[in-house]
A and B are shown apart, each in its own frame.
Chain A
Amino acid sequence: MTATADTIATARGIDVEVRRFGSGEGPDVVWFHGLVGLAEQEPALAALGAQATVHAPLWPGYGEIENEGSIEDMLDFALLGWDIVDGLGLERPHLVGHSFGAMIAAEMACVARNDLDRLVLVAPFGLWLDDHPIPDPFAVVPFELAELLFADPANAAKLVAEGQDLSSDEGLAQFMVQNARRLGTAGKVMFPIPNRRLSKRLYRLTAPTLVVAAGDDALITEPYIDAWQRSIAHASVDTVADAGHLANLEQPDALAAAIASFLFAPGPA
């Protein structure tokens, strides 16, 4: 399934690039990407697109538009998320957030709890447990990323090559610029500790919620999944096996199936 892409305007005046997956049939799903952004090929989103219209906006700093300076804190991100939903003309869509995008999606669901249908949090950042410090994604060198993000580091080369050659100065400079823009932006709510006190607001989260664990995630480990479950009493939990933090790239079909079976199941979740 081929993705399409365009740019939408939001009420705040921030233009946002949006990629779309699916034929335009079925319920609307807004996918908020994670720390590393969207890969050129996103097979999990494409698979979801078989049953839904998937809108995947790019957060400021993650696309071509250089507008990241306008976003400074979690309220900016959460309201921009809703501005994007409005800009897309959607009513009560399903929200799926992955990684850092899940942190924002959860915040959105607390801020405007009646404006979404169902919520899926995949390998979500947003909580912090002193006894289980999350490895610091801001203190890694490029050649260490594969180990941090994939269950099988060998998958990294296959899945996120994107023509990037980190052994050349040019390739490295390109990576550094992208990394500075992306992680620089994410750092506004993730640095130095990815906790902006969401836990104080989770009592407001009433939408039916699925938390998806990536079975071999080096970042969001089992104690965090347990903490999410404790924090959102009505949440259900599913696990995608043999997947690191980038489960969307490493086990796209299994991830899409887990999300689809929650979102599109008949009756109350």
Chain B
Amino acid sequence: MVNFCWFNLMPWPYLPDDFRENHRSVWVDIDSKLFDPVKGNEVYHTYMDQLEFADALGFDGIGVNEHHANGYGIMPSPNIIAAALARRTSQAALCVIGNSIALYNPPLRVAEEFAMLDVISGGRLVAGFPVGTSMDTNYAYGQIPALTRDKYAEAHDLIIRAWAEDEPFAFDGKYNQLRYVNCWPKPIQRPRPPIYIPGGGSVETWDFCLDHDYNYSYLSFGGYKAGKMLLDGYWNRVAERDKDDSPGRAAFAQIFCVADNDAEAEKLYAEHILYFYNRCLHVYPGFADAPGYRTVKTIKAGVLSQIRRENLRKFATLTWKDLVEGGYVIAGGPDTVREQTEHMIKTLRLGTVFSLLHMGNMPDETTRYSTQLFADKVMPQLKNLWPDYADDDRWWPHPLDDRVVPEQGLDHARRPATKPEVGS
């Protein structure tokens, strides 16, 4: 029951070579002149084609997410991409990881759009509810840092109730007052689609997931070796809370680069992965963490090294060797990748792997090559690593068996009109 979700961050692939030297940040105040809408036309379609390709190859899910004013994510509205995918795929789960629910007024909009996606896709939605990074939530979207979590919690309660209730109801919130909450349409998956909560390392987020039996998704670019420590903390918390230890409770994002052999992997992928680490993660540290965004408890427990002056250039100096040895990237021939991935899944205890196979400025054909090898030679042997939980279906969608298969129906969609029968 390991679910592999092919995830595309949708980075802008045309950041200049001197980006790090001559630009302050890839996020929030990124130079908007760097975005070329004409090139964007092709970029978006290439990325969406890749997601459709992953569906065709048998990936369990295809994933999109939300970022604002971000050079490595040109997807401020993942729901738009997911809607297009819902029309052109019919097998993979649509993993929207997710919508930053504190940003929307009212957040009922998220309940409605996710319900639409679930209905259009025949019940394939995985609904992600991130608090959102400080860059997105506070700096780009102006939410007050110290109130963001409170607003998030209220938005969550509203959405869950809007999906579950069968009658219109009044909602008297601090941030949302709605006299008539009436989510129309409702999702196919009742009372709700599976919910994934992307988070950092705060105990509060772990408890929130455990309170509601949501999946906790650790989405970092630090790789599985660094992620182990954090997920150990999570699983300890699961045990402390006397919850079952189903691997479905945890998801992790990992970069993969598959080639014929280890040397070929470096030749094919190093340049593009380094583009990501060297340019796409060049975030002005003043945007990393708006004061009040994190709880004092989390700051006291957390690692603050990212704002140290001497650490600001860390990503700039990472080499391919550093990335591979440090586990940031699992790269090599199929055997190497499979062994390391199995180790990752077992030691981090993962039910879902957000598989990052397109990164940085990786060309389309290179991405497809890596993706195909992963699908053919890595994924199949790792699907059943948790036989004891083969029947645990709490963490993945339950689509309709006889759902519409729209991508096979282009001719059907465009068939000429025939005169309907006219009653007497």
Q: Which residues of A contact B (CB under 8 A)?
A: 66, 68, 72, 138-144, 169, 172-173, 176-177, 179-185, 187-188, 191-193
Please give the distance in Å from B48's CB to the nearest CB on chain A: 33
Please give the distance in Å from B183's CB to the nearest CB on chain A: 28
**Complex: how many Å from CA A66 to CA B309?**
30
A187-B144 contact given A139-B286, A142-B307, A143-B309, CB 8 Å threshold: yes
Measured CB to CB, the nearest residue on chain B to A183 is B291
Contact B144 A181 (CB under 8 A): no
Interfacial chain B residues near A184, Cβ < 8 Å: 145-146, 291-293
Sample of 22 A–B contacts (CB below 8 Å): A68-B146, A138-B138, A138-B145, A138-B290, A139-B287, A141-B286, A143-B309, A169-B304, A169-B305, A172-B307, A173-B299, A173-B300, A173-B304, A176-B304, A177-B296, A180-B293, A181-B292, A181-B296, A184-B145, A185-B292, A188-B146, A192-B144
Contact A185 B304 (CB under 8 A): no
Query: Please, what's the 1-or-0 string for B252-293, where 1 marks a CB less than 8 Å from any CB in chain A?
Result: 000000000000000000000000000000001111011111
**Complex: how many Å from CA A176 to CA B142?**
21
Interfacial chain A residues near B146, Cβ < 8 Å: 68, 184-185, 187-188
A187-B304 contact given A143-B309, A180-B299, CB 8 Å threshold: no
Interfacial chain A residues near B308, Cβ < 8 Å: 172
Please give the distance in Å from A58's CB to the nearest CB on chain B: 16
Interfacial chain A residues near B293, Cβ < 8 Å: 180, 184
**Complex: how many Å from CA A215 to CA B309?**
30
Please give the distance in Å from A227's CB to the nearest CB on chain B: 22
**Complex: how many Å from CA A177 to CA B301?**
11
**Complex: how many Å from CA A172 to CA B146?**
20
**Complex: how many Å from CA A184 to CA B145?**
7
Measured CB to CB, the nearest residue on chain B to A72 is B147
Interfacial chain B residues near A193, Cβ < 8 Å: 142
Contact A180 B286 (CB under 8 A): no
The secondary structure that dominates the A interface is helix
Measured CB to CB, the nearest residue on chain B to A68 is B146
| Chain B: number of interface residues, binned into ranges | 20 to 34
Please give the distance in Å from A176's CB to the nearest CB on chain B: 5
**Complex: how many Å from CA A177 to CA B289?**
12
Give the contacting residue for A141; candidates B142, B285, B292, B300; CB below 8 A: B285
Interfacial chain A residues near B284, Cβ < 8 Å: 139
Query: Please, what's the 1-or-0 string for B197-213, where 1 marks a CB less than 8 Å from any CB in chain A?
Result: 00000000000000000
Is B196 positioned at the interface, with any CB of A under 8 Å from its CB? no
A138-B291 contact given A144-B286, A181-B296, A191-B138, CB 8 Å threshold: yes
Interfacial chain A residues near B147, Cβ < 8 Å: 72, 188
Please give the distance in Å from B174's CB to the nearest CB on chain A: 8
Interfacial chain B residues near A180, Cβ < 8 Å: 291-294, 296, 299
Q: Which of B132-148 contact A (CB under 8 A)?
A: 138-139, 142, 144-147
Contact B145 A172 (CB under 8 A): no
Measured CB to CB, the nearest residue on chain A to B305 is A169
Contact A187 B292 (CB under 8 A): yes
Contact A172 B292 (CB under 8 A): no
**Complex: how many Å from CA A68 to CA B145?**
13
Contact A192 B138 (CB under 8 A): yes
Contacts A72-B147, A169-B305, A176-B304 supplied; 5 other A-B pairs, CB < 8 Å: A66-B296, A173-B304, A177-B299, A180-B291, A187-B145
Identify the interface centre among A143, A173, A180: most chain B CB within 10 Å of its CB. A180
Measured CB to CB, the nearest residue on chain A to B291 is A183
Please give the distance in Å from A84's CB to the nearest CB on chain B: 21
**Complex: how many Å from CA A140 to CA B296?**
19
Contact B142 A192 (CB under 8 A): yes
**Complex: how many Å from CA A184 to CA B308?**
20
Please give the distance in Å from A73's CB to the nearest CB on chain B: 9
Nearest 8 CB-CB pairings of A with B: A184-B292, A183-B291, A184-B146, A139-B286, A192-B142, A141-B285, A141-B286, A184-B291
Contact B291 A182 (CB under 8 A): yes
**Complex: how many Å from CA A172 to CA B300?**
10
Interfacial chain A residues near B299, Cβ < 8 Å: 173, 176-177, 180
Please give the distance in Å from A137's CB to the nearest CB on chain B: 9
**Complex: how many Å from CA A139 to CA B291?**
9
**Complex: how many Å from CA A172 to CA B291?**
14
**Complex: how many Å from CA A191 to CA B151?**
15
Please give the distance in Å from A140's CB to the nearest CB on chain B: 5
**Complex: how many Å from CA A188 to CA B300?**
22
Identify the interface centre among B139, B284, B291, B307: most chain A CB within 10 Å of its CB. B291
Interfacial chain A residues near B142, Cβ < 8 Å: 191-193
Measured CB to CB, the nearest residue on chain B to A179 is B291
Please give the distance in Å from A132's CB to the nearest CB on chain B: 18
A177-B300 contact given A172-B307, A184-B146, CB 8 Å threshold: yes
Please give the distance in Å from B25's CB to the nearest CB on chain A: 10
Please give the distance in Å from B282's CB to the nearest CB on chain A: 14
**Complex: how many Å from CA A159 to CA B300?**
26
Contact A172 B287 (CB under 8 A): no
Please give the distance in Å from B296's CB to the nearest CB on chain A: 5
Identify the interface centre among A68, A138, A173, A179: most chain B CB within 10 Å of its CB. A138
Interfacial chain A residues near B290, Cβ < 8 Å: 138-139, 187, 191
**Complex: how many Å from CA A176 to CA B303?**
11
Interfacial chain B residues near A144, Cβ < 8 Å: 286
**Complex: how many Å from CA A141 to CA B310?**
13
Please give the distance in Å from A79's CB to the nearest CB on chain B: 17
**Complex: how many Å from CA A232 to CA B305?**
46
A172-B304 contact given A184-B291, A187-B291, A192-B138, CB 8 Å threshold: yes
Please give the distance in Å from B300's CB to the nearest CB on chain A: 6
Please give the distance in Å from B139's CB to the nearest CB on chain A: 6
Please give the distance in Å from B16's CB to the nearest CB on chain A: 23
Measured CB to CB, the nearest residue on chain B to A173 is B304
Query: Please, what's the 1-or-0 string for B33-74, where 1 marks a CB less than 8 Å from any CB in chain A?
Result: 000000000000000000000000000000000000000000
Please give the distance in Å from B395's CB to the nearest CB on chain A: 33
Please give the distance in Å from B196's CB to the nearest CB on chain A: 27
